[in-house]
Amino acid sequence: MEKGKFIVFEGLDGSGKGTQINLLVEEMKKRGRRVYQTAEPTESSTGGMIRDALAGFVKRDEYELSALFLADRIFHNANPKNGIKQFLERGIDVVCDRYYYSSFAYQGIDADLDWVMSLNLGCPEIIRPDLCIFLDADIDICDDRIGKNRFSREIYENKETQCMVRQRFLEVFKRLENSENIRIVNAARGISEVSSDIIEIYDSVK
Ligand code: TYD
C-alpha cells in the first residue's frame, strides 16, 4: 500500500497556521484523501507538562524543555493508538501543527542549537516530514493577532522573542535546504490568497 504523506505547518505564534491547516485538510478530504490532523505539543502527559511551562506555571530551563518536547514527539510518532507512524503506514496522510522545526527555532535560542537538532534528527523514531510549510508574516501582524485572540500570553509570546524565533527558523531552513522539503509562504495576505498558494505547493509534492 502507498504510504500517507506527512505535512507539517510551522510559523510564528499568530501567523494563521490554524486557519490554513483547516483549509488544506478540507481540500485534501474533498480530493478523497484520508487525513489525520494533529498538533504539538500533544495531549499526552508530557504535553501537559510542556503546556504548564509555556503558560509560566512551572519554570523549566530550555534544555529541560527541549527534552520534554523530544519525549512528546517520540510518543507522537510511535504510540500504537494514534501515532503518526501507524497512520502513514495505513496510507493515511498526516497534517501536523508544529514539529521539530519549532524546537530548533524556540529552544535553539537558549539551548545549544546543534544539540537540539541532533537529538531530533538523529532519533530513529522521529519521522522526517515530506513537506514543511512555513507561514511567514511580519512580527507586528502576528503580535496583533495574538493580542486579539488570546486571553493571556505564553512565555514566548512577546515581540522580542518572536523576532529571534523568526530569525532562527530562517537560519535552520537554510541549514536543512538540501535534506528537507521546506517551503516559505508569505502569510501577510488575505486568507484565500495564502490558501491557494499552499494548495499549489501541496499539488506539486504528490
Ligand atoms: P500552542 O498555543 O499550543 O499553539 P500555537 O501557538 O502554535 O497555536 O503553542 C505552542 C507553543 O509551543 C508555541 O509557542 C511554540 C512552542 N513550541 C516550542 O517551543 N517547541 C516545540 O518543539 C514545539 C512543538 C512548540
Q: Which among 203, 182, 157 has a CA at the least distance from the CA of 9?
A: 182
Closest CA to 180 of 127, 131, 115, 112: 131
Quick check: CB of 103 below 6 Å from ligand 1?
A: yes
pLDDT tens figures, 120-164? 999 999 999 999 999 998 888 888 888 887 767 788 988 899 999
N- to C-terminal Cα separation, the chain: 15
Handedness of CA 137, 140, 145, 146 (dihedral sign): positive
CA of 34 to the centre of ligand 1 (A): 26
199 CA to middle of ligand 1, Å?
Answer: 24
The one-character DSSP state at 98 is -
Cα(203) to centroid(ligand 1), Å = 27
Check residue 153 and give its pLDDT: 79
Name the CA radius of gyration of the chain, rounded: 16
What domains can be seen in the chain, in order of their start residue? 6-201 (3.40.50.300)
The grid cell for 64 is 529541560
3 state DSSP class of 66:
helix
> What is the pTM (predicted TM-score) of this model?
0.95
